[in-house]
Structure formats: structure tokens, C-alpha cells
């Protein structure tokens, strides 16, 4: 089982703080992660990318203009450029163009300030974290709260970084071993949209269960790079045969696939021996299914409790939530029934 070692007996589904408590504090900051655990999250989810000197840092993307104050640093103005990452063109500043020492001079900012002004009030308060910093933070939180806590680590853009001579599988395996997190005790789960990097992480001896992230449409970037037009798309993984053929312990799917009337995806995955995570539970109208929006204000909270309940009623094993306390509250209602 993917989540057995970090799961309380009454904790189904697992509540995973998405980039920490990113609804309340700038994502991937120490404050966001600490708050996630204070609000009852069982795990937190970092996105892992690399610096030029091979340090694994935690950012949603390797392009960091939306989540840091890099644009306000004149000394880095010349590093702004346009690049293609997994076939998508981005303009901004990229972690692979910075050393860790340079990134330490930047501060985190709220990615969605119009929707989350309360979080934006903390802009500039916190620095960027390394993956190694998060391992230590989770250990401290588990000691303080006297309960098992874990990490669901997403490896981002592995094919892109490999082309740059920064093999994320190798760097990740080394970090896990150095931190003492390779005991196979269930505290660590590794996930990615690229199945190849999950296979390579396992081949390097990382004992953590693997979860394949699956988009509602499209094709994994690593398979496109390797096979071109013949690459299997995400949809093919979600057929009965596709689920049985996956070499992972779980899948993680967008919530709309579970909210679709008549969806049997969770049952099919369970039948194939896979656990199912889903992303991302958020209360703002902007992110809710149209059935659960209330009013025209995109930043206002809609009928989030109804949507969260519908997702959990699917039998899903874990949910990613920007506001972990809300997911914990709905889970408690299910337990009370």
C-alpha cells in the first residue's frame, strides 16, 4: 500500500498539503509547509527542480518569475530569457541558470495574488527551500506533533533537466539517501508526470512507492522525446488494460475525472492494485467545478464542501488540497458517518 505507513487508522483519504498550505501562505515556503501540518495534513507535496550546480530546490516550475521576487533583482535582469520546456515556450527566469547561492537571495511571493490577497500579504517574508531543508522540516513537525508525517515529492521536467546534464533521478536518489529517508518506511512517495523518471528513481534503489501523475489529456513529455508520434497518451493509461500494465503503486488524476457522472476510475484502479490520488481541492469559485460555484466572484469561496465531499465519496485514497484544514474537516464528516 502506498500510504499505509503515514496513514492514521481513521485517515482515509490521506490529506496532502499541496505545495504546503498554499491557500494561506506563498507556496513552497517553510511557512506553508509548517502551517499545512498544523492544519492537520498527513503529508505535503513539494515540486522538485534543479539549480545550475545540481542542488534540488522546491519550486512549482523551473521558471520562477511568478513565485519569487526575481524580477525585482537588477543583478539578474540579464538572465531573463525565452526557453522551451517540454514543448511549451516560457519567458522568464529559470532555476537551471542560477546557483543555489544565488537563489538564496530571492524571496517567495504569492502566485495568485488577486485570488489570495491574504497569502500575498506574506510576500517577501520567506526564502526558497531545498529538498534537504524540507526533509528536516517534516522531521521536526512529526516530533512536535507526535504523529507520522510524510512527503509526496513530485519530480518536475526530468527529460528537460537531463538534456542539461542534470539527471533528477540521480540527484533525487542521492538526496533521499543523505537525508536518511530511504528506509522504505512509507514516509516518502515519489510522483511524476513522466513514467521514465519513476523507473529510473526505482532503479537507483529508492524504496519509495511510485505514483504516476496523469493529465486529463495529452502525452508524457518523456515518451514524446523517446517515441515521437507513436508515444502513448495519458488516456491510454486509464483503460483497464492500461491500469494493469502500469509499473507503479498508484496514480494521481485531476479531480474532474472523479467528478464525471458515472466515473468508475477509482474502482478500476483499485481492481488493478493501484491506489488513487487526486488534485487539487480548492475552495475558490475559479477552481470549482461549475456545479459548485456560487456567484460571479472568482475569488469567493463557493460550495467547496459539496465538491470535496463528492470527490471523497469516490473512494479516492488521497487528496491534494491547498487548504488542508478544509479537506480534513470534510474527511472528519465522512468518518462521523
pLDDT tens string 16-37: 999 999 999 999 999 999 999 9
Asked, for residue 108, whether it belongs to a domain, the answer is no
**b/e sequence 188-216, b meaning 16+ C-beta within 10 Å:** bbbbbbbbbbbbbbbebebebbbbbbbee
Asked, for residue 83, whether it belongs to a domain, the answer is no
Range(s) of the domain holding residue 265: 4-62+129-336
pTM of the entire predicted model: 0.96
- What is the rounded distance in angstroms from the CA atom of residue 60 to the CA atom of residue 4? 27
Asked, for residue 122, whether it belongs to a domain, the answer is no
Asked, for residue 117, whether it belongs to a domain, the answer is no
Q: What is the pLDDT of residue 261?
A: 87
The answer, yes or no, to whether residue 5 has pLDDT greater than 50, is: no
Spatial contact of 319 and 277, defined as CB atoms under 8 Å apart: yes
Here the CATH number for the domain that contains residue 254 is: 3.20.20.190
Asked, for residue 81, whether it belongs to a domain, the answer is no
E strand residue ranges, 13-129? 14-18, 43-45, 47-50, 56-58, 81-85, 88-92
Q: What is the pLDDT of residue 219?
A: 97
- What is the rounded distance in angstroms from the CA atom of residue 222 to the CA atom of residue 196? 7
pLDDT digits (tens, 9 = 90+) for 196-231: 999 999 999 999 999 999 999 999 999 999 999 999
Spatial contact of 108 and 68, defined as CB atoms under 8 Å apart: yes
Asked, for residue 262, whether it belongs to a domain, the answer is yes
Asked, for residue 195, whether it belongs to a domain, the answer is yes
Query: How many domains does the chain contain in total?
Result: 1
Asked, for residue 211, whether it belongs to a domain, the answer is yes
Amino acid at each position: 500500500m502506498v500510504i499505509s505507513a503515514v496513514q492514521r487508522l481513521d485517515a482515509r483519504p490521506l490529506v496532502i498539503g499541496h505545495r504546503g498550505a498554499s491557500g494561506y501562505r506563498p507556496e513552497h515556503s517553510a511557512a506553508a509547509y509548517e502551517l499545512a501540518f498544523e492544519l492537520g495534513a498527513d503529508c505535503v507535496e513539494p515540486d522538485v527542480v534543479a539549480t545550475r550546480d545540481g542542488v534540488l530546490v522546491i519550486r512549482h516550475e523551473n521558471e520562477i518569475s511568478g513565485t519569487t521576487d526575481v524580477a525585482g533583482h537588477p543583478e539578474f535582469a540579464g538572465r531573463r530569457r525565452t526557453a522551451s520546456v517540454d514543448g511549451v515556450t516560457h519567458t522568464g527566469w529559470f532555476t537551471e541558470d542560477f546557483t543555489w547561492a544565488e537563489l538564496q537571495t530571492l524571496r517567495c511571493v504569492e502566485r495568485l495574488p488577486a485570488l489570495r490577497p491574504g497569502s500575498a500579504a506574506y510576500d517577501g517574508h520567506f526564502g526558497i527551500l531545498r529538498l534537504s531543508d524540507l526533509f528536516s522540516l517534516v522531521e521536526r513537525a512529526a516530533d512536535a506533533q507526535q504523529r507520522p508525517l510524510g512527503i509526496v515529492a513530485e519530480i518536475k521536467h526530468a527529460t528537460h533537466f537531463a538534456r542539461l546534464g542534470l539527471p533528477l533521478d540521480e540527484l533525487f536518489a542521492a538526496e533521499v539517501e543523505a537525508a536518511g529517508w530511504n528506509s522504505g518506511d512509507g514516509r516518502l512517495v515519489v510522483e511524476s508526470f513522466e513514467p521514465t523518471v519513476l523507473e529510473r528513481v526505482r532503479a537507483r534503489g529508492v524504496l519509495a512507492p511510485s505514483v504516476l501523475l496523469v493529465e486529463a489529456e495529452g502525452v508524457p513529455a518523456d515518451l514524446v522525446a523517446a517515441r515521437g508520434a507513436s508515444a502513448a497518451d495519458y488516456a491510454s493509461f486509464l483503460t483497464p488494460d492500461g491500469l494493469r500494465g502500469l509499473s507503479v503503486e498508484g496514480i494521481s488524476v485531476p479531480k474532474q475525472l472523479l467528478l464525471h457522472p458515472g466515473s468508475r476510475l477509482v474502482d478500476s484502479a483499485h481492481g488493478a492494485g493501484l491506489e488513487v490520488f487526486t488534485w487539487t481541492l480548492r475552495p475558490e469559485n475559479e477552481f470549482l467545478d461549475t456545479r459548485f460555484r456560487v456567484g460571479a466572484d472568482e475569488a469567493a469561496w463557493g460550495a467547496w464542501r459539496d465538491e470535496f465531499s463528492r470527490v471523497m465519496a469516490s473512494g479516492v485514497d488521497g487528496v491534494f488540497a491547498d487548504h488542508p484544514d478544509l479537506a480534513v474537516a470534510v474527511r472528519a464528516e465522512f468518518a462521523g458517518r
